[in-house]
Chain A
Amino acid sequence: MQLAVNILVLAAIYALIACGYVLVYRVSRVLNLAHGELMMLGAYLLLMTATQFSSHWLVAIAAAVGLSLIVGVLVYLFLMRKMTGEMVLAAVLTTVALGILLRGAVVFVWSAQQQYPAQRLEIANFAIALPGGARISLCAALLVATTALVYGGLLAFLRFGRWGVRMRAAGQNPLLAAQRGIDLHAIYALAWGLSTLTGALAGMLIALDSGLDQTMAIIGLKAFPAALVGGLDSLVGALAGALIVAGAEVLLIHYVDPLLSEVVPFLVLIAMLIVRPWGLFGTREELDRV
């Protein structure tokens, strides 16, 4: 039972991070390689709001989530918007530069030491006993619940929401969407905002569970294979990819060798690229264009 819980928690982490990659790629065809750093920035924003609202953890988290959304929108408005009409590669390289900048900025502002937002917010991260002798920490349980809510919300938003439908339209055919009067810049800004928000949520919950340091940016990259395995333009695919990668990782740690956990996501990715390069739920013709 504990194994199943471990798989579920790791899958939730990967899925919550991966949906940020998918949102931006699906709408603008840009691979955001600064997603890990934006996720880390979100966690550090929580540290900042935790100092301001230490006795009101819900307010602190809500403020950090709001700030993350704004950061995502600003990244688009002041950086990625300038890349409109340029080669996709130029936009991707811009995200690499953004990532390097954010990593330096975080050390400059918050120093290199380990931080514990849960301690500042006085959140007791106690263990919850589950049937079958399994246990899960409060923050890990919250992470699983948040992932379910985020995916449910995003899928409903993209299917039924006015702006969600516009986002899908812009992703499928930007020219036609623009001719129909859809403001592409507003759609792209929204996609970047939502992507940063979901990544930041993952960063905040991981930081609440086990602490915060600069390695978090690399955790963001570890979730990338999950998005690719599922199909880079599919939210359902990201969920499935996260489950496959997390399942393979936890089972190999338990039954074979813990060292394999580092390479497993990429082994799964290579296998998928050989068999089905566009991923489990990805769109073939879209990826052919890349």
Chain B
Amino acid sequence: MLRKLTAAAVAAIVAWPASAQDAYTIGLTGALTGPPASTYAPAVEALRIYLERVDAAGGINGKKVNLVLQDDSAEPSKATANAKKLITQDNVILLMNASLSSTYAPMVAEAKRAGVPLLFASGVCPKDVYPPADPLLFCTTAYAANYDSRATLAFIKETAKEPVKIGFSAMAIPLSRGEMDFAEQQAPGLGMTVVGKEVIPPPTPDYTPFATKLRDAGANWVFSWAPWVTQVRTLEALRRLGWQGDYIAWSHLEAEGELARLKDGKFYVIGANALFQDELPIHKEIAEAAKKAGVQYPAQQMAEGWIAGLVIEAALKATAWPPTPAKLAAAMSALKVDTRGLRGGPIEWTKDNHFRTRQYYRVYRWDPGKGAIVRVKDWTAFDVK
């Protein structure tokens, strides 16, 4: 009996690596817990569901996809340890990051050292993926530094009925501050008067002192490009102070639910993902999959992860078996993925552009008359050069 058990155990140990090697193994480190988790965890959950569906349908090129998830709580040291573990122990052919930008530098270093491609799957796209792109870095995330501000300011200029006195609200993290600095420089060239810029540290128990400054500065428009919590709490503090101006913010995962919660006719969200109110067939597909999987997050928050799933599936499909990081990186450098309406156009990667060749924006707001979210401006394209 003992000999049989020993033989079974040895067989299991030998068979496990064989089955793991018989799959595309990819690894993700993300802020699944910790303060900014609300922005990242739903996207990771969507990606997990997407890949489980792919596996259930027979996998890719007849092989399963083995997704290894690691939590870094948005801490750079944990992200580094996770990246090392994924590369050396799990032998992943693709690293993914779904966390704060502070985790990027150490992960990029690990990825480059090992020659493994790194995909930013729900954190802001770093400039290294813009042309001329780093050969190993790729990004599917909707938001993009500088392009977002250009699109937002263009929308404000087009929409404003009186001279624009604009205020900015950023979170005290490098990318958010940098983007608001960029917008502050661009605004005067569009005929806008910059009246204030608040850089708000996370976390803040009361946003009113910051909102008071924006209100007192006389802003009639406020633009915020920051994690959702900063964007929406600044707006709510402004409204409680009696401020009646227009407010525009980036359309993060939470945007759709929040527009419906706030019911504020002068609150606009600008983004690159179509909201679920558009009722596309793919939205129904995501909602059904989320319901079936019994996820904790609303289906409306899953578009970003779903898009990452579409791209990963296409990239792995184009990678000949047996897969290696180099083969996958080569496949990713010549990829065109139909986002089926979730974005204004396809995600197209070339040798020099690992972001997308065109970035599309849509603007939504709550319409108090209709009691629903409405599209204010349809897809507007910006060439990425």
- Closest B residue by C-beta to A215: B203
Contacts of A112 in B (CB 8 A): 32-33, 37-38, 40-42
Q: A113-B254, A213-B38 are in contact. Are A135 and B228 (CB under 8 A)?
A: no
Q: A215-B229, A222-B205, A258-B199 are in contact. Are A253 and B38 (CB under 8 A)?
A: no
Q: Is B198 an interface residue (CB 8 A)?
A: yes
B242 touches A111 (CB 8 A): no
Q: Which of A1-42 contact B (CB under 8 A)?
A: 2-3, 6, 9-10, 13-14
Q: Is A104 an interface residue (CB 8 A)?
A: yes
Closest CB in chain B relative to A117 CB, distance in Å: 12
Contacts of B212 in A (CB 8 A): 2-3, 6, 254
Q: Is B375 an interface residue (CB 8 A)?
A: no
B254 touches A114 (CB 8 A): yes
Q: Is A119 an interface residue (CB 8 A)?
A: yes
Cβ-neighbour of A254 out of B34, B209, B296 (below 8 A): B209
Cβ-neighbour of B241 out of A2, A116, A222, A258 (below 8 A): A2
A259 touches B33 (CB 8 A): no
B229 touches A114 (CB 8 A): yes
Contacts of B297 in A (CB 8 A): 111, 113
Cβ-neighbour of B35 out of A9, A215, A222, A262 (below 8 A): A215
- Closest B residue by C-beta to A106: B33
Closest CB in chain A relative to B7 CB, distance in Å: 39
> Range of interface residues on chain A?
35 or more
A261 touches B204 (CB 8 A): yes
Contacts of B296 in A (CB 8 A): 111, 113
B203 touches A218 (CB 8 A): yes
Q: How far is the CA of A135 from the CA of B242 in the complex (A)?
A: 8
Q: Is B379 an interface residue (CB 8 A)?
A: no
B261 touches A119 (CB 8 A): yes
A210 touches B207 (CB 8 A): yes
Q: Which of B11-55 contact A (CB under 8 A)?
A: 32-35, 37-38, 40-42
B206 touches A127 (CB 8 A): no
Q: Is B208 an interface residue (CB 8 A)?
A: yes
Contacts of B42 in A (CB 8 A): 112-113
Closest CB in chain A relative to B70 CB, distance in Å: 15
Q: Mark B233-250, 1 if CB is under 8 A from A, else 0.
A: 100110111100000000
Contacts of A210 in B (CB 8 A): 206-207, 233, 236-237
A135 touches B241 (CB 8 A): yes
Closest CB in chain A relative to B44 CB, distance in Å: 10
Q: How far is the CA of A215 from the CA of B33 in the complex (A)?
A: 11
Contacts of A9 in B (CB 8 A): 206, 208
B210 touches A258 (CB 8 A): yes
Contacts of A222 in B (CB 8 A): 203, 205
Q: Which of A225-277 contact B (CB under 8 A)?
A: 249-250, 253-254, 258-259, 261-262
Q: How far is the CA of A163 from the CA of B298 in the complex (A)?
A: 48
Contacts of A94 in B (CB 8 A): none
Q: A113-B42, A254-B213, A259-B199 are in contact. Are A10 and B205 (CB under 8 A)?
A: yes
Closest CB in chain A relative to B227 CB, distance in Å: 10
Q: A112-B41, A113-B297 are in contact. Are A214 and B213 (CB under 8 A)?
A: no
Q: Is B132 an interface residue (CB 8 A)?
A: no
Closest CB in chain A relative to B109 CB, distance in Å: 27
Q: Which of A204-232 contact B (CB under 8 A)?
A: 206, 210-211, 213-216, 218-219, 222
Q: How far is the CA of A213 from the CA of B213 in the complex (A)?
A: 25
- Closest B residue by C-beta to A111: B296
Q: Mark A121-139, 1 if CB is under 8 A from B, else 0.
A: 0000101000000011100
Q: Is A186 an interface residue (CB 8 A)?
A: no
A107 touches B33 (CB 8 A): yes
Q: Is B359 an interface residue (CB 8 A)?
A: no
Cβ-neighbour of B205 out of A13, A104, A258, A259 (below 8 A): A13
Closest CB in chain B relative to A123 CB, distance in Å: 13
Contacts of B236 in A (CB 8 A): 210
Contacts of B202 in A (CB 8 A): 215, 218
Contacts of B200 in A (CB 8 A): 258, 261
A211 touches B233 (CB 8 A): yes
A10 touches B203 (CB 8 A): no
- Closest B residue by C-beta to A251: B209
Q: How far is the CA of A80 from the CA of B42 in the complex (A)?
A: 36
Q: A111-B41, A119-B261, A127-B240 are in contact. Are A253 and B33 (CB under 8 A)?
A: no
Q: How far is the CA of A109 from the CA of B236 in the complex (A)?
A: 27
Q: Is A140 an interface residue (CB 8 A)?
A: yes
Most A CB within 10 A of own CB, among B42, B206, B210, B213? B206
Contacts of B99 in A (CB 8 A): none
Contacts of B40 in A (CB 8 A): 112
- Closest B residue by C-beta to A128: B240
Q: Is A103 an interface residue (CB 8 A)?
A: yes
Closest CB in chain A relative to B301 CB, distance in Å: 7
Q: Is B201 an interface residue (CB 8 A)?
A: yes
- Closest B residue by C-beta to A104: B33
Contacts of B175 in A (CB 8 A): none
What are 10 inter-chain pairs, A to B, with CB distance below 8 A?
A10-B206, A10-B209, A104-B33, A113-B254, A113-B298, A135-B242, A214-B34, A219-B203, A254-B213, A261-B200
Q: A258-B210, A262-B172 are in contact. List 20 more A-B contacts (CB 8 A).
A: A13-B205, A103-B34, A107-B37, A112-B38, A112-B40, A114-B38, A114-B229, A114-B254, A135-B240, A135-B242, A210-B233, A214-B33, A214-B37, A215-B203, A215-B229, A216-B203, A218-B35, A218-B203, A254-B209, A254-B213
Q: 10 shortest A-B CB distances, which residue pairs? A: A112-B37, A215-B203, A262-B201, A111-B296, A215-B35, A112-B41, A127-B240, A253-B209, A107-B33, A6-B209
